[in-house]
Structures are given as structure tokens and as C-alpha cells.
Amino acid sequence: MLRGLTTVRAYGAEDRFQRAFVRHQNTNTSWYFCFLACSRWVGFRMDILSWVTLIAVAAGAMLLRSTLSLSLLGVALTNTLDLSAIMQWTVRQSAEVENNMTATERLLEYTKIEAEGRTCAEGAAKPPPGWPHSPRAADIEYEDLTATYSPELPPVLHGLTFTIPAGTSCGIVGRTGSGKSSLMLTLFRLIDNSSGTIRLGGIDISTIGVDALRRQIAIIPQDPVLFSGSLRSNLDPGESHADEALWEALRAVQLGPEAESLGGLDAAITEGGENWSAGQRQLLCLARSLLRDAAILALDEATANVDRGTDAAIQRTLRDCVAARGSSQHRRTLLIIAHRIDTILDCDQLLVLSRGRLVESGPPSELR
């Protein structure tokens, strides 16, 4: 199914998109015609060259008929007749090799990309048992952090210093381009800090394996990610939870009745979750995050594409489910990037960013 098709029809833009499709199709067809014309022209020239060679061999045989044996002449004429096909095959294969070398060149470029941090299986240090809640609380500490997406690009975050106590909720606000999502990426180590330190539970996150770090962080993105398959495979891709735990997560996000009406955990989900509403997809991502029982739950504009009713349902679910981490006694730390001010008013702490710098921080009631 084409994504966005319903939107195109809703705005009556079918004709405009059809014209754009025909225009692009004409451009593609014109270049394909050039390719075919060049191929036929090269083939015709190869045929002419083969004919000239055949005539030359026949003329030479006539001139040297008194010195050449009939068997040698037959071999020469037979190979000359196959020369056209051999030459065209050679040209075709050389062009194919050149095209494939372009793909190989692109693949080689990926091998030159600097790899991200190592996992514990690759030799990176493992955190101590009970981390991040032991031996000390799972506070998130940023100390004079400066980060950039690439060494040749300017920094996107400048000298950030703050602490988010374990088990609290923190809202991150700012204008578009202020660095809110970049701040979240540094916590996942998706971009590296050029200076400064990030500590979780008292440990510098750059000193441990990325897999150990990311197991303790769950995120609900602005655009929910679902895969074609069953409801069970989307909630628990690693098949590490019992069905009862999956149902508890669905009931926690108020999707239990919908799941039962669609066939239970074996209900089909199409690519991108198109057979579920935007709000239901967000709630499914929330249920998947709750199953992970991570120490930190991050929401990056998770309610930007849903109505206020679904937003309120998500906030209510967070208040009910985030307070206790499943069977443990530790509270989750909640990080919220939101576009609605009422979403973050009940947070324990706010961070206000502007152009990659922290301009204000503190409880919402104390900020200007």
C-alpha cells in the first residue's frame, strides 16, 4: 500500500501527482531510450567489423588457396562467423562490469565510515552488576558537554552542564533547531561528544559497551516504527517475554480491548502499522518500551502527530506505569521533548535550550 495515498485523495491532488508521475516517467524513459539506442549502435558497428573481418578472411583464403589446407580454411571461416557474437558479448560484459564497479565503489565508501563504539562482546567494558542503580543512584549527569555530528561541522551542543536525578521527570524545551533531539542522541551515543562527559549511575557512558548502555534506555520517537508481522513480534522482537507480560503491557497502555477484537497477539500488522491509527501506533511503541523495563524512558515529540485525547491517554499511562519499573523498586527516569506545554507542566524539572546552549533549568514553577 502506498503511504500517503489517503492524504493525496483527501486534498484532491490526484491530477497533480499524476502529472508529476508522467513527467518523471518521461525523463526515465528518455534516458532508457538513449541507452537502447547506444547499445544498438554499438552492436551495429560490431556487426560491420565482423563482416569486414569475414570478407578479409574470405579474400585471403582465395589469394592463398594454393598454400592453405581446406581444414585450416574451414576453422578460420567458422571462427570468423562467431566473431560478431563474441565481440558483442565482450562489449556487453565490459559495460556490466563497469556498472557493477560503481556499486562496489559505493560499498567501499561504507567501509571507510568510522564505526560507533564497541559492544561488550567486542571487548568493551561491562558495567558493574546492578548498574545503573548500583552502587549509586541512576542520575544522569552532563558536565561541560560539547557535541557535533561530524568533526568538520560546527558543534550543535555547547558546554551543557546539568543533572537529572534518578526517578524524576525532565522536560526538554526549545525552538526548532535548539538541540533538543541532539541532546537525546548524545545519551544514546549516536553522536559523539567532542568534549565533556556524560555519566549515568556515576559511570562515564563512553567507557562501557554501547549495547549495555542502550539496554537501559527506551525511546518513543515522533514517528512510531512498526514492522509487518504479528502484534507479538512487534511488541517482543526478541521473544523474551511470556504472553501474560505482553497482555499486561497492552492493558497498561489501554490497548487490551482493541488487541482482543483484532485477534489477540497474532493480529496482523502491515508495514509501518498502516492498519492501526497514529495514536494506537504510539501506544504500541509505549507498550514495547514498558516491556524493556529500562531505567530511562525518552519521548522525542512522541505526541506531536496525535490528537489531544491520545496525548492525554499517553500521559496518563506514563504516570501510571513509569512510577515503578515492573518488579523492581526503582523508578524510571522520564525525558520528554514535547511541543505542547501542558505535556511538560507536571515534570519535576525543565531544561530550556537555545542554539545548543542551556539557558534555563529548574522546576516549571520557578522558570520565567
- For the chain, domain boundaries: 4-111, 140-362
Among the listed ranges 130-144, 286-300, 301-315, 351-365, which one has the minimum average pLDDT value?
A: 301-315
Q: Inform me whether the pLDDT recorded for 324 exceeds 60.
A: no
Among the listed ranges 45-54, 142-151, 204-213, which one has the minimum average pLDDT value?
A: 45-54
More confident residue, 50 or 313: 50
State residue 30's pLDDT score. Answer: 94
Percentage of the chain surpassing pLDDT 70? 92
The set of residues, in sequence order, having a beta carbon less than 8 Å from that of 179 and lying 6+ positions away, is: 156, 157, 353, 355, 356, 357
pLDDT one-digit tens code per residue, 91-137: 888 878 887 888 889 889 888 887 778 888 888 888 888 888 765 67
Provide the mean pLDDT of the chain: 83
Neighbours of 148 (CB within 10 A): 19
Averaged over 325-354, what is the pLDDT? 76
pTM: 0.70
CATH superfamily of 140-362: P-loop containing nucleotide triphosphate hydrolases (3.40.50.300)
Assigned C-alpha cell, 89: 558479448
Averaged over 197-206, what is the pLDDT? 90
State residue 102's pLDDT score. Answer: 86
* Bridge partners, residue 230, by sequence: 268
Dihedral through CA 321, CA 327, CA 333, CA 336, nearest 10? -30
State residue 20's pLDDT score. Answer: 93
Among the listed ranges 46-60, 146-160, 182-196, 321-335, which one has the minimum average pLDDT value?
A: 321-335
More confident residue, 21 or 150: 21
pLDDT one-digit tens code per residue, 172-200: 988 888 888 899 899 999 888 889 999 99
Q: Inform me whether the pLDDT recorded for 328 exceeds 70.
A: no
Q: State which of 268-272, 326-330, 364-368 shows the largest mean pLDDT.
A: 268-272
pLDDT one-digit tens code per residue, 26-70: 999 999 999 888 888 888 888 888 888 888 888 887 787 777 777
Query: Sorting pLDDT into bands at 50, 70 and 90, what band is 156?
Result: very high
Cβ(271)–Cβ(234) under 8 Å?
Answer: no
State residue 329's pLDDT score. Answer: 52
Query: Sorting pLDDT into bands at 50, 70 and 90, what band is 221?
Result: confident
Assigned C-alpha cell, 202: 556515576
State residue 65's pLDDT score. Answer: 73
Dihedral through CA 34, CA 39, CA 41, CA 44, nearest 10? -160
Query: Sorting pLDDT into bands at 50, 70 and 90, what band is 368?
Result: low
Closest listed residue to residue 219, CA positions, set 183, 269, 179, 254:
183
pLDDT one-digit tens code per residue, 222-264: 778 888 888 888 888 888 888 888 898 888 888 888 888 888 8
State residue 306's pLDDT score. Answer: 66
Number of H helices and E strands in the chain, helices first, is 12, 12
* Bridge partners, residue 290, by sequence: none
